[in-house]
Structure formats: C-alpha cells, structure tokens
A and B are shown apart, each in its own frame.
Chain A
C-alpha cells in the first residue's frame, strides 16, 4: 500500500482589513492601541489598516473589522458610524464611551442648551457666544453609545481598554476564536 499523499500546505492566512475611528472620545483608546508597542509588528502580520487616523485614509473600503472609539454626540459621528457599519463585517465598540457613552454622556442629564450657555456664555470674560459656523456638525440632544445607533458585534470596555485587552481581542478574532477577556483584562475604568 502506498503512503498517503502529504497534505497540501495551508494557504497563507489572509490579513484582516481593520478600520478605526474616534467619535466622541479622547483618542485614549487609539493611544492604548499604540501602547501595544513591539507587538504591533506581530499584529501587522494578522491585520492591515484601512480607514484610520493612523493611516489618514478618510473613508473605509470593504473591511473585516471596524474598531470604533467614542460615543455619538453629533451628526458627523452618526454619518461616520453608519459608513463604518456598512463597510465592515464586524463592528467593535472600543472603550467606555463607545460602550455606554462614557464621560461625554455625563452631559445627558443637563439640557443641551444649558450646557452650551454654561460653556460659551456664562464665563468670567463674558464668552464669545455659542458657535454657529455652518461647518460645525449639529449636536445630538444626548450622547449615545454605539449600540443605540447601529448594530454592534463586540464590546471592549475600559477607559481606555488596556493594550493587552485590545491585543487579546484582535488576535482572538484574527485567529478565529470568539474573543474573551479574562478577569484581569476586564475593566470599566
């Protein structure tokens, strides 16, 4: 009996196309992404960046994953988020603001007009008035987490999520596992 033919070599794994965006956030989650440091070199074997502040590409092409930081606080945020939802197979809410509105949502229990007056008018120097430039995106009445605007596939809490948590989540997904954060990596603050 002849020896069985050797199995063909596995096809090289296709790199996942990842888009990232920051909506009503502080960019802390992107900084945490960069905090992966030398592990980024290994990660780049698994992913390729599409639209992102890190590439300066403005609009996403077809993507596997969209990592979205920040909540939704204005019309532009809604537009960017919907564009990412259409482009990506998987949307991940990255960080506390994307998951539950975070600190920007602390404005929700004050009226929007009250907030604007307090910030721009009720100042010791009298303030310069509430900005009304037509290029400014209209503010939403409340700050919303992503899942109140589009369908979200995964949530990665933390303010920001640690580099370890982001690395674990992305490598789990890239290697075909359901992402899971063990107790030490799961933080809301």
Chain B
C-alpha cells in the first residue's frame, strides 16, 4: 500500500506537516506566510480574530485551528481572501480607538503591521469611537482598553503560562470587554507581575510595560525592518537569516 504523504498544498506550494499541527503551524514552520493576529505559538489556538481564514477544499476555516491533513488544498493569498482580511482589519480599527501617532506600540504593533501588509489606506467604515477604560493603577503595567481587539492572548497567557488568571472576557456582542480579576477591578490590585507573560503578549498596546515606551526609537522597531510577511517573529527563518 502506498503511504499517504503528510503534505498540504497552500497556494500551489507543497507544505509538509507533522501530525497534530494546524495548517497555520505547518505553514509558518515552512516559511509560508498566512496573516494572523490572535495566534501565538506559545498558547493554545483560539480562532477568534479570523484574520487567518483560508479556504480549504472549497470551505472557509481558521488556519490556526484547523488540523493539517493530507489532501488539503488551501487557498490563502488570493485577491478575494486578502480583500476579506483587509475588511476584517478595517472593522478592528473602527471598533477601537487606534491612533497610531499617539501610541507607543507603533512599529511593534501586529494590527498596524498587518494593515500595512494588506495595503490598508483607510478604515473605510464609520468609527465607533468607544468610551473605554484606562487603568494606570499598576506600578509597572498600563492597561488601555482603547486598543484592545479581544484576541484573548493576555487571558491565555495569564491562565496557561502564569497560572494567575488575571484577565478574562466579560459581556457579549458590542459590550464584550476584557475585565481584571480583582475585588476592585483594577489592575493594581491583582498579583500581575512585570515578569509575567501576560504583561508582554499584547499584540496592540492595550497592555504596556511602563517606562520603556521609546527605549527602541521609532524607525528601529520590529516592523520598521520590513513587511510583517517577511519579518514576523513567528515565521521560520532560512539558514541565511531571511
């Protein structure tokens, strides 16, 4: 009997995978870029942002949660799918208060970098301009929910890595928001420490370590070096470092 190869085909490229890997994990390990936002290799897949949505054998699915299986034909970089991703990013921008010129995360921000990569020139939709909480009560960490995109990376990091469950999501629909697990609801009254993974995992600058904002100047930050599709820290590198 012929053995079935552990290979998926992504945009015509043959990508090998290890049994148990998701499509996104296999792609990134092979150096094939699929845009993603709520995925992080250190945490359990979540599938909330849908930026990594691909078409697998004609059906839509999140590449970060779908297991790679032999015989899968995956479409990712088609104009139609890229347009959908751009629309998702535009919705994320108008649902929060994302003012890049006033944000110290600029240049290190995954949402911003993905928008550049998608050639997003405008948020296109009417802005929500939501009224969200700013919590400066913690001595070392700032919580500015203006920028939260509900990716739940902080929830997963605090629960699964730090073992503290400092963050959780409450509410539904438009009222959905990150809450803090303390009697007062303030970050300063939790046992979050600056060394915790949750203090550093936020992709957009809703959770920021204090007093380090401009230690790396604008122009020398992670995504100033090139498009996220080339410099993403999650992407496998070839031997010459590219």
Give the interface of A toward B (CB within 8 A).
93, 96, 99-103, 105-106, 108-110, 142, 144-145, 147-148, 152, 154-157, 159, 180-181, 183, 186-189
Contacts and interface: CB of A to CB of B under 8 A. Distances in A.
B106 interface: yes
Interface string B213-232: 00000100000001100000
Contacts of A93: 122
Interface string B106-131: 11000010011101011110110111
**From DSSP, what is the main secondary structure of chain A's interface residues?**
mixed
Interface in B123-167: 123-124, 126-127, 129-132, 146
B97 interface: yes
Interface residues of B, number: 29
A148 B126 contact: yes
**From DSSP, what is the main secondary structure of chain B's interface residues?**
loop
Contacts, number: 78
A103 B121 contact: no
A186 B114 CA distance: 12
Contact of A109 (B102, B115, B123, B132): B132
Residue of B123, B124, B129, B218 with most chain A CB atoms under a 10 A cut-off:
B129
A188 B97 contact: no
B1 to A, nearest CB: 49
Contacts of B106: 188-189
A183 B116 contact: yes
Given A100-B93, A109-B131, A145-B127, A188 B101 contact: yes
Given A109-B146, A188-B100, A188-B106, 15 more contacts: A99-B121, A100-B127, A101-B129, A103-B102, A105-B127, A106-B102, A108-B129, A109-B130, A109-B131, A110-B131, A156-B121, A183-B117, A186-B116, A186-B121, A189-B106
